[in-house]
Structure 1
Amino acid sequence: MFILKYILRNLFRHRLRSVLTVVGVAVAVLAYGLLTTLVSLWYSGAEHASDTRLITRNAISLIFPLPISYLERIRGVPGVTTASYGNWFGAYYKEQKNFFANYAIEPRSYLELYPEFILPTKEKNDFLLDRKGCIVGERLARTYGWKVGDLITLKGTIYPGDWEFVLRGIYHGKEKATEERIFLFHWTYLNETMRRSVPRRADQVGYFVVGVKNPGLAPDVALAVDSMFKNSLAETLTETEKAFHMSFVSMTEAIMVAIQIVSYMVIAIIMVVAANTMAMTARERIGEYATLKTLGFKGGHLAGLIFGESVAISLLGGLLGVALTFPAAHWIETELAQYFPYFTVSPKTLLFELLAALSVGVVSGIFPTWRGATIRIADGLKRIG
């Protein structure tokens, strides 16, 4: 009890130094938590991918199309419940900075394969009946202030020109992780326009979405689909939705690794700063430690005092960092909604933040503790006066 009281009294004997150390640890912990969350969000698309959906694309690259005639043959593969198709459209709204995911799809089968897109019945029916109709995610609609019935014009890049759509519905995600920044419209609208303007680009799709009865059938179905089109002019590569997402994530994996390294470096730097602070504190109190030894305190008692103070300061900084994580994450989720579908810090990340703070306290306290606990009384008393 005495040691605990002594630690609490010593925490802010040098207030400015202690406050700066606590703030430094808090900032480091906050940065670590936000960077770790950013990395986990980068992989969230793959983690939340359905295990009963497969993606079939051109075996050479996704940029090469596939004939629409493949659809019925894919639907006939044993184990396939339904299949749909789509094209990456690659357009933007008004200015190039207003870029978001937009796809030309077959509406009825596509929405059947993606039940996580929740759409009111009336809006869904209106969308299905309107060839120039489109639906968008709730976050995307909120970003640009769109309402049902609005006329929206997108500027094409892959398919040049101004494309007009009527907003027929706004969907919301079944779960928080569901992407709500997607623009979907009828593939037939795109295809009919291509038939008139560029016939060689008509009747082609970018990918097929294949639904299977259960995850266990996925490997066999993928093999059967790819075997069916082997040695054709457009061979296919069929993979799980998770593998499909990971193929994109892998392109930026080096960036994610760099971000992770930076998060660890932040902790390492503040660890050095905290160690220097504790070393200064121990050096200033050498005479005090020698006096305590003359009063009968053992090396273990002094070790507890010094080590406890280091851990206490770091944990205070860690708790402050954890507390700041929530408003910081909320601000990112609100202000940067265009880039992050959600930004929720997991309990696991919060635990790691506290462990990082604890590790700072432990490591930074080792040398000062050893020095204070092993000081000779005569050497320590020389510092007095």
Structure 2
Amino acid sequence: MFIFKLLLKNAFRHKLRTLLTMVGLVVAICAFGLLRTIISAWYAGVEGSSSTRLVTRSAISLTFPLPMNYAQRLKGVDGVSSISWSNWFGGVYQTERNFFPQFAVDPVSYLALYPEYRLSDEERLAFLRDRQGAIVGRKLANKYGWKIGDKIPIRGTIYPGTWTFTLRGIWDGAEAKTDESQLLFHWALLNESIRKLAPKRADFVGVYMLGIKDPQNAALISQRVDAGFKNSLAETLTETESAFQLSFVSMSEAILLAIEAVSYIIIVIIMAVMANTMTMTARERLAEYATLKALGFAPGFVVKLLFGESLMIALLGGLAGIALTLPLAAGFGKAIGSLLPAFHVSGLTMTLQMLAALVVGAVAAAWPAWKMSRIDIVQGLRHVA
């Protein structure tokens, strides 16, 4: 207890300097946490993917659809236990700024394949019965204040016209990383409209989702699927859901590397600032440390004082930085909406923040502690702070 009081008193002997150092540390740890959260949110789709699902798309490009008659052949592939399909819709709600993912899906098979979308039995049944019905994630519903029964007009960009859906259900994600920022509606409704406007474009889907029982055979099943459509008019590319999601993330890999680099640079900068603070502190107390050595205290005691003081400042600044990160991340996540749907500060990020703060404290005290442990008592007593 005596050591703790001594460290606390020493840490705040120069209140302004200590507070300014702590403010810099808080800002750095908070910025580090936010940048790490952005990276984690970017990979949320990959982390939230299931090992029991495969995605089959056109081997040429995702923009090329696949025929609907592929469904029966896919069901017959050895290892495939279930199948569903979806189309990207790409509309906007009210204004261009209100953009979020919308998919036309086969309701029965899709919801069976995605059990992490948790709906009540009543809402599920209402969605299945209403061809004009739609379901959305909780995050999206909260953003726009939607309630069950509301009419949601979506202006199509790929498929022209205004499409009005009736909200029949709001799902909650089974985990924090489950995407709750999507709107799903009936693929049959979209296909009927396409058949009327452009019959040749009807009966096509964007991607197929395949359910498998044994994730260890994912590569083998993928090969079987693609081999079945080899040399056809629409060859396929089948991959795990995580690989499919990672293909989108890889498009921004350079940006993510830059963000990660900046997060570490921030820590290095505050490390230099705090090292300067601890060096100034040690220089001002040179006579005190010399006196302690003259009284018989071992050099290790002086080292403990400097390390303890530095770690205490780092600990307080780190805790304050983590506490500030949580509301800032919540506000940032709300502002960016569906761009990064699973934006939350994870336990790993907070652990890294605290570890970064302690590393800063330890490294900042290393040089002055080593110097003070080797001071000459006579020269130290002659020093005037």
* Cα separation, partners in 2 of 1:20 and 1:182, compared to 1, 3 Å: same
Q: Which residue of 2 aligns with 1:376?
A: 376
Structure 1 residues 103 and 289: CA distance shift in structure 2, 3 A: same
Name the counterpart of 1:356.
356
Aligned to 1:103: 103
Post-superposition shift, 1:272?
0.3
What corresponds to 2:260 in structure 1?
260
2:54–2:240: 8 Å Cα contact kept in structure 1? Answer: yes
Q: Is structure 2 residue 309 aligned with structure 1 residue 309?
A: yes
Report what 1:199 is aligned to. 199
Structure 2: which 5+ runs fail to align?
none
Deviation at 1:112, TM superposition (A): 1.4
Give the drift of 1:84.
Answer: 1.2
- The answer to whether structure 1 residue 287 and structure 2 residue 249 are counterparts is no
Tell me whether 190-199 or 227-236 shows the greater mean CA deviation: 190-199
- Counterpart for residue 150 of structure 1: 150
Report matched runs for 1:9-28 at 5 Å.
Answer: 9-28=9-28
Whole-Å Cα distance in 2 between the matches of residues 339 and 216 of structure 1? 32
- 1:77-92 to 2 correspondences below 5 Å: 77-92=77-92
> What residue identity is the alignment partner of 1:313?
I
SS at 2:304 equivalent:
helix
SS across alignment from 1:22 = helix
Partners in 1 of 2:138 and 2:5 — Cα distance?
A: 54
Q: Which has the larger displacement, 339-348 or 96-105?
A: 339-348
Return the alpha-carbon distance in structure 1 between the equivalents of residues 4 and 128 of structure 2: 70
Tell me how far 1:322 sits from its aligned partner: 2.8
Query: Deviation at 1:325?
Result: 3.3
Asked whether the equivalents of residues 22 and 317 of structure 1 are also in contact (C-alpha less than 8 Å), the reply is: yes
Q: What is the aligned-residue RMSD (CA, Å)?
A: 2.0
Per-residue deviation, 1:2: 6.0
Q: Residues of 2 paired with 1:170 and 1:5: CA distance?
A: 54
User: Residues 171-226 of structure 1, C-alpha deviation per residue, up to 9 Å, x if partnerless?
Assistant: 22222322111111111221121122122321111110111122133222211110
* Contact 1:27–1:321 (8 Å) recurs in 2: yes
The 1-side partners of 2:56 and 2:338 are apart by: 28
Report the equivalent of 1:241. 241
**SS state at 1:154 partner:** strand
What is the aligned partner in structure 1 of residue 299 from structure 2? 299
Could you tell which deviates more after superposition, 176-185 or 324-333?
324-333
Superposed displacement of residue 335, structure 1: 5.3
- Which secondary structure does the structure 2 equivalent of 1:83 belong to? strand
> In structure 1, the residue corresponding to 2:61 is in which secondary structure?
coil
CA contact (8 A) 2:86 2:205 kept: yes
- Between stretches 235-244 and 27-36, larger displacement belongs to 27-36
Question: Once the 2 structures are TM-superposed, how far is the Cα of residue 92 of structure 1 from its aligned partner?
Answer: 0.7
Please list, as runs of the form range in 1=range in 2, the aligned pairs for 1:20-169 lying within 5 A after superposition.
Answer: 20-169=20-169
Q: Secondary structure at the match of 1:305?
A: helix
CA distance in 2, matches of 1:161, 1:336: 27
Are 2:47 and 2:177, in contact at CA under 8 Å, matched by a contact in 1? no
Taking the aligned partners of 1:123 and 1:82, their CA distance within structure 2 comes to 23
How far has the Cα of 1:150 moved from its partner?
2.3
SS at match of 1:115: coil
How far apart, in 1, do the equivalents of 2:157 and 2:17 lie?
A: 57
**Identical positions, percent:** 54
